[in-house]
Amino acid sequence: MYQTIPTSAPPTPLLDQACNPSELRKLSTQQLPELAEQLRAFLLYCVGQTGGHFGGGLGVVELTIALHYLLDTPNDHLIWDVGHQSYPHKILTGRKSAMLSMRQLNGLHPFPDRNESNYDDFGTGHSSTSISAALGMSVADHLNNLNHHSVAVIGDGALSAGLAFEALNHASHVNANLLVILNDNEMSISENEGGLAKYLANKLKPKDVSEANTALFEALAFDYTGPLDGNDFNTLLPALQKALNSDGPQFLHITTVKGKGFYPAESDPVGYHAITKIEPLNKQQMNVAKAVTKRKTFANIFGHWMCEQAATNNKLVAITPAMKEGSDLVEFAKRFPERFFDVAIAEQHALTFAAGLACADIKPVVAIYSTFLQRGYDQYIHDIAVQNLPVIIAIDRAGLVGQDGATHAGCYDIAALRCIPNTIIMTPSDEQELWLALNTAQSINSPIAIRYPRGFGACQSIENNTAICELGKGKVLRSGKSKMALLNFGPLLPQALENAQRFDLTLVDMRFVKPLDEALLDELAQDHNHFFTLEDHAITAGAGSAVGQYLADRPVTFTHLGIPDALIAHGTREEQLEICGLDTQGIARSIQAKLS
């Protein structure tokens, strides 16, 4: 049991012999426990160097070894739901020497990626897709007269999503040769919520648990086995072998320990779901780090605002789809438990649930990452916007998010939402503007979306006030002598300000994408002949596109600065901004090109 993360590479002689599946299968079953110990040690060392997800990976070391030992990968299909737990899989499939590049620009992807390895059968990042994908591969093999196994490994948290049950239902209908492995560690990112989680985690005797779960999953025509110890090879290997040798839909329920082998992670699986890399700091760096930790992120401001408002407004409620910690609603949940709703990984339900609350004179706030809002798009349109219900959508992690890569980038929410009637979209440029936007949202009796990025903005501190801004009105920050105006939407304002001063541009913090400040645009179009629009969002159908549409019949030209029509690979947020030309220098080059 490790108490600390190794800071130097541990010796891994057995792992070095078995870091691809064909070599792994040459080992005896008696060697597998030692292999697991070396793999766990190496995983701890790697994540300490690069940061990333590792609690789930530590828990499935034995399962990963057992699956590659018994399956004929990559011919057989192995799908890891979400992919948080896929680092051991990467190490055992020829990528051990590249693990220190994880999450870095041009390095290994933080999730399974079909372009990275032929052992990654399906790209993941979001939850609950594995059973559908594995079922598709099973049916495809049948149609192609191939006899390969299809295995989906899904956690108990991901199993709460409706998509997983849709796939289970369909698998029984087609009688597919499919093995679903439930990796039950009683956790997702946060602690699991809901009836299914309680059902799976009940405290009955093992025999009673097995009988109860058999009834649940065999009602869906799956052959159920379990629950059994997924960290014990003596139990795991024969159960897996039996399931793989059986026809029709199979369901293997294993229990694992999230963070197994690392005492702090076993004791605090929420806090150690993922970590940042461990770096030795000198005294000056430590002082800088301490100063940064005293600042509040956008999410911190949101969480603080929620608590402040709930103290005086007993109709304000918070809803999150399994992102209590990430959305900074922990304090709200403690202070107002009767008004906090973690609906588990169920984004569709989160939005329609909010709609129901709004119908009954409650003010719901849905805290959701931009990338996960995509999963509830129909519910936003059909259940919220069409009925013009006063639901606040707090869109966290909007824009480029850094090391989690393309699956988690929040690049499409403006494009998705601005075409929908009865929708207001705000893009606060810093933490104080976020506070102002939230105040404004609470005063509006219609759907409103407020998008803000991960991490810190430009504010060093904020004022907790009750001010609101006028609906659809931007703010002129400087008037330039050139005939060019820079319209900023969101947190790239510091880069915008530096360039506006350098090139003597008029600078506007637009605040709203919808409704646009049309009166201000009309005024600017009278004495400006070129508009730069700046957003941390896809250029296609983004905020700049809205400006261009409105001014299409005016004698003005445009340069839209934003995320290009491409998937931006993982790296630091600063590297991603540079790739997109959204850093200070990149913006300057775009402006200079118009001056040449």
Q: Is a pLDDT exceeding 90 seen at residue 217?
A: no
Q: Count CB neighbours of 557 within 10 A.
A: 12
Q: Is a pLDDT exceeding 80 seen at residue 592?
A: yes
Q: Is a pLDDT exceeding 80 seen at residue 286?
A: no
Quick one: average pLDDT of 71-94?
97
pLDDT band at 194 (very low <50, low <70, confident <90, very high): low
Dist CA 464 CA 532 (whole Å): 32
Quick: pLDDT tens for 133-158: 999 999 999 999 999 999 999 999 99
Alpha helices in 26-105 (DSSP H): 32-50, 55-59, 61-70, 87-90
- Among candidate residues 90, 375, 397, 454, the one labeled active-site is 375
- Specify which residues 394 forms β-bridges with: 367, 450
Alpha helices in 175-279 (DSSP H): 195-200, 206-218, 233-244, 263-267
Contact, 183 vs 63, CB < 8 A?
A: yes
Contact, 290 vs 277, CB < 8 A?
A: no
pLDDT at 126: 94
Q: Is a pLDDT exceeding 60 seen at residue 209?
A: no
Q: What is the mean pLDDT of the chain?
A: 93
Assess whether 481 carries a catalytic annotation.
no
Quick: pLDDT tens for 228-278: 999 999 999 999 999 999 999 999 999 999 889 888 888 887 777 777 777
250-255/223-229 β-pairing: parallel
To the nearest whole percent, how much of the chain has pLDDT over 90?
84
Q: Is a pLDDT exceeding 70 seen at residue 99?
A: yes
Assess whether 258 carries a catalytic annotation.
yes
Distances (CA, A) of 511 to 411, 473, 475: 17, 7, 7
Dist CA 266 CA 40 (whole Å): 13
- Specify which residues 485 forms β-bridges with: 506, 531
Sign for the pseudo-dihedral over CA of 329, 330, 334, 338: positive
Give 273 or 208, the one with higher predicted confidence.
273
Sorted by where each starts, the structural domains of the chain and their CATH numbers stand as 13-275 (3.40.50.970), 293-451 (3.40.50.970), 475-595 (3.40.50.920)
- Specify which residues 53 forms β-bridges with: 274
Assess whether 375 carries a catalytic annotation.
yes
Surface-to-core class of residue 550, CB atoms within 10 Å of its CB (0-12 exposed, 13-18 middle, 19+ buried): middle
Distances (CA, A) of 127 to 35, 72, 75, 222, 402: 29, 25, 24, 21, 19
Radius of gyration of the chain from its Cα atoms, rounded to whole angstroms: 26
Dist CA 172 CA 162 (whole Å): 16
- Among candidate residues 347, 431, 535, 575, the one labeled active-site is 347
Quick one: which of 191, 171, 189, 188 has its CA closest to 180? 171
Contact, 385 vs 421, CB < 8 A?
A: yes
pLDDT at 190: 61
**Residue whose token pair is 């060093």:** 460
Dist CA 151 CA 59 (whole Å): 18
pLDDT band at 204 (very low <50, low <70, confident <90, very high): very low
Quick: pLDDT tens for 420-435: 999 999 999 999 999 9
- Among candidate residues 90, 258, 363, 511, the one labeled active-site is 258
Q: List, edge to edge, every strand of the sheet that includes 363-369.
A: 340-342, 316-320, 363-369, 392-396, 448-451, 424-426, 512-514
- Specify which residues 509 forms β-bridges with: 475, 488
With b meaning 16 or more CB within 10 Å and e meaning fewer, what string describes 395-428?
Answer: bbbbbbbbbbbbbbbbbbbbbbbbebeebbbbbb
Quick one: average pLDDT of 88-115?
96
Quick: pLDDT tens for 358-375: 999 999 999 999 999 999
